[in-house]
């Protein structure tokens, strides 16, 4: 064990030390590294370097069962990756309700505020393979497994509250269109290719989710800084059998933040594990990510009170119409012990529900209820995947399902059927009289039809609502993202169809998107004439919803933000100290970035330890940059392309920057006049402060910098596109 692993292992709860029921259960399956090697049958292995041969230079003998066992196991180490959401990262934690929700649902885990329900949460991208990069433009999965006392409940959601399609029938088409193209398997983990936009442009019901995917929601800064949504309308049912429709929301404590697109693409190369690492490191450091569970509830008899259909998964319920009530919190406080056993083998399913939570007739949800068990059977090699430790319920479970691949349970006795009298000697019958999960007895008198409801026929009003609700820079990001994606298409007719559709969201948006694409002006009429087009406009109930934008979200704290402190021989260490202390006191994390590992010498000949280099950890790994004073140090950095690029790139990506004294020289070339007021998000400390005789002035500078970091990004910073970085 490395010292770090040892420390982590020491910290992790074992079965006996008050761990959650799930941790206690998992501990039964855990094993620690051992110094002795055996075969799978327990036979000690005498030599783990040499196979059994006929003479030292002779051929290997078939008899070598030790070699065969080892190679055979290796040959079968891989399982199929998930058909979608293959790339994921997960963590353990708990959920705690704030107060009893018994008025609305009888779900046991939503009753008692003193109960901590263990959870396992897996975040994912959708389109990419298991080894693809984290920061690609995509929706993110947000799947929560609650190990409740009534069985497992899975809330299998996304970070976008609506979906591309309205009916499960179209899911395989959608996924085939977005995945790498079948003839050459390109591009990986990207929607910027012809087949995706061909499909999207022919299916205007995708428009609303496209707006979200092209916004900064598609490139989250961190898994810890994104919202989650159950997407579909579900039902809460209370003990009197009364039903409320419910939409689920996860609201992150750290706010909702995105990357710059240029930054996201660079990170995909510099650190493809960016989100996975960020989640892992935050939990290891004790900065446990936290979300609040929010619900929007609608009484059963108000089902038709809104202009949109609650069953349509391309629609959200504006928070201005139905407020989100926060009912509990989710905390992730423990990394998995083994990626494969936990993150890879976990099997979610929207049909894993508990009494008090039920489905709506959303046709996308209805299709999902079939798909998830089905897919696990091939992915996890049979019908017994519920017995895998990570999937196993913490409450007792029992039925007469038997046998199958990899069965673990040893079911005792003669009886494997119901009703029976032989099991325990008295008649045993399950007839619905003794509780358990009761489906909501919805009144249905349907004709059997294969048709879309006309109430699903407005494809643009909420896309427009989303667009209108964005701040000016966020609108620009959406336009830029559409331009990027559509510019990658080889077939101009697809670009044209797409902008024709966008004209139904917003004329100006469509025109701006079309400008650099080498196509004609957007033609709304042409779009309206195409098959599949539906624009039966619903009443506009909300014109603008501030809850849909990301700017200014969060509690204004800088907790866990990453700040780079640039150094070289000759920087002024005295000017760094008070600013660094203030940043760290506010909860941000500093790393000293220098030209080489080891240490540099400050102007006053103090040693400054370097954590990472300009070259191995570039500016895209940080949220903010601090450039100290010190003539010689700054001179040295000006000679280093990587150091200059670091600052220019951070500027281009609208990050908070603090330059002290001569450090301002590193902004040279950005057209910034040190004498005039600095650009938004840039804090300039005048030279006297660098001498740091004046502690109050230093404090003020530090506080300004912390304030700038808390804003996350200064998207309104002008002319960043002109920066060559
Ligand atoms: Fe999924 N989805 N999905 N999905 N989905 C899967 O199940 C599917 C949909 C979501 O971390 C698969 O175990 C169909 C919406 C997440 O393990 C598969 C339809 C939402 C995850 C599947 C949808 C999701 C999956 C692949 C349309 C947001 C990852 C592997 C009818 C509410 C869970 C697996 C994890 C995974 C099918 C639509 C979220 C193939 C058929 C809408 C977060 O069964």
Q: Summarize pLDDT for 186-224 with one digit per residue, the tens.
A: 999 999 999 999 999 999 999 999 999 999 999 999 999
pLDDT at 7: 39
- Name which of 290-304, 325-339, 436-450 the model is least confident about: 436-450
User: Running DSSP on this structure, what letter comes out for residue 295?
Assistant: E
User: Running DSSP on this structure, what letter comes out for residue 127?
Assistant: S
Distances (CA, A) of 531 to 91, 172, 253: 45, 20, 44
Contact 383, 377 (CB under 8 A): yes
Catalytic residue among 92, 152, 158, 712: 158
Span 94-142, pLDDT tens digits:
999 999 999 999 999 999 999 999 999 999 999 999 999 999 999 999 9
pLDDT at 18: 67
- Name which of 70-74, 99-103, 672-676 the model is least confident about: 672-676
Catalytic residue among 85, 275, 352, 714: 85
Distance CA 382, CA 400 (A): 17
Span 593-625, pLDDT tens digits:
999 999 999 999 999 999 999 999 999 999 999
For the residues 51-58, what does the mean pLDDT come to? 98
Characterize the bridge pairing of strands 151-158 and 589-594: unpaired
Distance CA 149, CA 117 (A): 8
DSSP H helical ranges for 428-491: 461-468, 472-487
Distance CA 705, CA 682 (A): 8
pLDDT exceeds 80 at position 693: no
Choice between 681 and 9, residue whose per-residue pLDDT is larger: 681
Confidence band (pLDDT; 50, 70, 90) for 688? low
H or E segment and range at residue 250: strand 243-252
Which of ligand 1's atoms lies nearest the C-alpha of 230?
32
Q: Is the CB of 124 under 6 A from ligand 1?
A: yes
Contact 597, 610 (CB under 8 A): yes
Q: Is the CB of 159 under 6 A from ligand 1?
A: no
Distance CA 399, CA 420 (A): 13
Whose CA is closest to 278, among 136, 153, 123, 156?
A: 123
Shortest-distance Cα residue to atom 28 of ligand 1 = 157
Prediction pTM value: 0.96
Task: Encode burial over 514-533: b for 16+ CB neighbours within 10 A, e otherwise.
Answer: beebebeebbbeebeeeeeb
Beta strands in 496-575 (DSSP E): 562-566
Active site residue 398: no
pLDDT exceeds 50 at position 656: yes
pLDDT at 537: 82
Q: Is the CB of 669 under 6 A from ligand 1?
A: no
Q: Is the CB of 380 under 6 A from ligand 1?
A: no
Active site residue 384: no
Distance CA 183, CA 197 (A): 17
Residue with structure tokens 């929700």? 101
């Amino acid at each position: 064990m490395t010292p770090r692993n040892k420390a982590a292992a020491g910290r992790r709860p074992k079965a006996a030390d008050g761990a959650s029921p799930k941790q206690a259960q998992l501990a039964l399956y855990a094993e620690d590294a051992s110094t002795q090697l055996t075969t799978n049958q327990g036979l000690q292995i005498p030599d783990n370097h040499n196979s059994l041969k006929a003479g030292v230079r002779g051929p290997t003998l078939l008899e070598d069962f030790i070699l065969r066992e080892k190679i055979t196991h290796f040959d079968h180490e891989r399982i199929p990756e998930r058909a979608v959401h293959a790339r994921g990262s997960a963590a353990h934690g708990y959920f705690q309700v704030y107060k009893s929700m018994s008025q609305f649902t009888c779900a046991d885990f939503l009753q008692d505020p003193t109960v901590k329900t263990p959870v396992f949460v897996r975040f994912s991208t959708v389109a990419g393979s298991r080894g693809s990069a984290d920061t690609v433009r995509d929706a993110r999965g947000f799947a929560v497994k609650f190990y409740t006392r009534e069985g497992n409940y899975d809330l299998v959601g996304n970070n976008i509250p609506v979906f591309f399609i309205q009916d499960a029938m179209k899911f395989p088409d959608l996924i085939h269109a977005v995945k790498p193209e079948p003839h050459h398997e390109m591009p990986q983990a990207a929607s910027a290719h012809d087949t995706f936009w061909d499909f999207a442009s022919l299916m205007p019901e995708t428009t609303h989710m496209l707006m979200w995917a092209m916004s900064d929601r598609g490139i989250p800064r961190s898994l810890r800084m994104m919202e989650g949504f159950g997407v579909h309308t579900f039902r809460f049912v209370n003990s009197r059998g009364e039903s409320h429709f419910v939409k689920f929301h996860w609201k992150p404590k750290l706010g909702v933040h995105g990357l710059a697109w240029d930054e996201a693409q660079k990170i995909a190369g510099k650190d493809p594990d960016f989100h996975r690492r960020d989640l892992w490191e935050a939990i290891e450091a004790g900065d446990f990510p936290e979300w609040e569970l929010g619900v929007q509830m609608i009484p059963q008899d108000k089902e038709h009170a809104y202009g949109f259909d609650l069953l349509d998964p391309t629609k959200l319920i504006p928070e201005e119409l139905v407020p989100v009530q926060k009912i509990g919190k989710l905390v992730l406080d423990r990394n998995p012990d083994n990626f494969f056993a936990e993150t890879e083998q976990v099997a979610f399913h929207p049909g894993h529900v508990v009494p008090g939570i039920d489905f709506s007739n959303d046709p996308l949800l209805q299709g999902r209820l079939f798909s998830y068990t089905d897919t696990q059977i091939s992915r996890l090699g049979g019908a017994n995947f519920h017995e895998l430790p990570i999937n196993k319920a913490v409450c007792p479970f029992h039925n007469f399902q038997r046998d199958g691949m990899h069965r673990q349970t040893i079911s005792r006795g003669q009886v494997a059927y119901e009703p029976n009298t032989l099991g325990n000697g008295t008649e045993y019958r399950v007839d619905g009289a003794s509780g358990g999960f009761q489906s909501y007895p919805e009144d249905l008198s349907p004709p059997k039809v294969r048709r879309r409801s006309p109430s699903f026929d407005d494809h643009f009003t909420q896309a427009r609502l989303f667009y209108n609700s964005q701040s000016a820079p966020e609108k620009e990001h959406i336009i830029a993202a559409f331009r990027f994606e559509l510019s990658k298409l080889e077939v101009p007719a697809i670009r044209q169809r797409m902008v024709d559709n966008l004209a139904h969201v917003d004329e100006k948006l469509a025109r701006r998107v079309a400008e650099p694409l080498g196509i004609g002006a957007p033609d709304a009429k042409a779009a309206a004439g195409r098959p599949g087009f539906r624009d039966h406009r619903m009443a506009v109930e909300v014109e603008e919803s501030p809850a849909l934008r990301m700017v200014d979200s969060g509690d204004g704290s800088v907790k866990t933000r990453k700040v780079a402190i640039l150094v070289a021989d000759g920087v002024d260490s005295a000017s760094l100290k008070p600013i660094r202390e203030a940043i760290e006191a506010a909860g941000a994390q500093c790393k000293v970035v220098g030209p080489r590992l080891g240490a540099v010498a400050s102007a006053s000949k103090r040693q400054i330890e370097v954590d990472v280099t300009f070259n191995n950890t570039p500016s895209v790994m940080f949220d903010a940059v601090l450039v100290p004073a010190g003539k010689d140090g700054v001179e040295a950095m000006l000679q280093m392309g990587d150091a200059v690029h670091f600052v220019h790139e951070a500027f281009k990506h609208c990050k908070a920057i603090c330059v002290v004294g001569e450090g301002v020289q590193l902004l040279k070339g950005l057209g910034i006049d040190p004498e005039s007021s600095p650009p938004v998000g840039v804090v300039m400390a005048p030279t006297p402060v660098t001498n740091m005789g004046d502690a109050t002035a230093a404090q003020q500078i530090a506080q300004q910098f912390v304030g700038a970091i808390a804003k996350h990004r200064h998207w309104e910073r002008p002319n960043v596109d002109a920066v060559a970085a």
